[in-house]
A = this chain, B = another copy of it.
Amino acid sequence: MESREKIMTAALEVFAEKGKHGARMEEIAKSAGVNKAMLYYFFSSKENLFKEVLVKALHGVFNRIRRTLQQSGLTGLGPAESVKLVVEKHFEAFVQDVPGTKIVLEAFVHEPSEIKRALDQICTETTRDNPCQLEPQRMTEILKAGIVQKIFRPIDVSQLFVSILGMSLIYFSARPIAQLFLGLNAKDEKKFLEQRQASITDLLLHGILEKEATKHA
C-alpha cells in the first residue's frame, strides 16, 4: 500500500479513537509505519489531514448507501419493504466503516462547519446520474409516499428520519463503553449488530404502519 494511503487509514483509526484534538501526529505516523515528516509531506498540517479523512469518510458512507441501494433496486417494492431496505442499507453503510462513522459523528458535534463544507463539496461533485440525491431526501420521499397511500400513519417524517438516524448511530457512541462492560468478542458483536438492525426495523415498521395495513414481508 502507498504511504499516503497508509497514513490515511492510520489517521482514520487514531482520529476515531482519540478525537481530532486527542490524536497525536506522532502516533498516526507510528501506526502507519512511516516517519512523522511524511504526514506533513502529504498533508501539510494536522488540520488538513483531518479534513481529508473526514471528507473521505463522508464520501464513503454516501457512496456505499447509493451503490448498495441502486443495485438492490427499490422498484416494485411497496413503501414498507422500501423503508425496511433503505434503513437496513443505511445501517450497513455505517457499520462498514466504524471509525469513519465515529469521525463523522464527532465532526457533527465539534466541527459542524467542516461537515457543511464537505456536504456542499459532495453535492457539487455530483454527476448527472446522481443528481445530488442527499440520502435523507430519498428516505423521506419514501415515507411521504407511504403516508399518501395510507399505508403509513400520518407522521412527522423529518422527526422520524432523525429517530432512525439516532437508533442507528447510537451504536457507535455506545460501542466503547459496551465493549468495556460486556467485553464482546467479534462473534458477539456480529450477533449484536444483527439484533440491533432487526430491532430498529421492527420498531420502525410496527410504529409507522397503519393497523389495517398488510403486514410487511
Contacts and interface: CB of A to CB of B under 8 A. Distances in A.
A195 B207 CA distance: 16
Contacts of A166: 166-171
A184 B46 CA distance: 32
Contacts of A171: 162, 166
B106 A180 contact: no
Interface in A141-185: 153, 155-156, 159-160, 162-163, 165-177, 179-181
Contact of A204 (B17, B198, B207): B207
> A-side binding surface: helix, strand, loop or mixed?
helix
Contacts of A165: 170, 174
Interface stretch (A2-10, A75-83, A107-115): A107-115
A196 B166 CA distance: 11
For this chain, the copies found in one complex come to: 2
Interface residues of A, number: 51
A190 interface: no
Contacts of A174: 108, 162, 165
A102 B21 CA distance: 17
A85 to B, nearest CB: 18
Given A159-B199, A166-B171, A173-B173, 18 more contacts: A18-B21, A19-B110, A108-B176, A108-B177, A109-B172, A109-B175, A112-B179, A115-B177, A153-B206, A155-B203, A159-B196, A160-B199, A163-B167, A163-B170, A165-B174, A166-B167, A166-B170, A169-B173
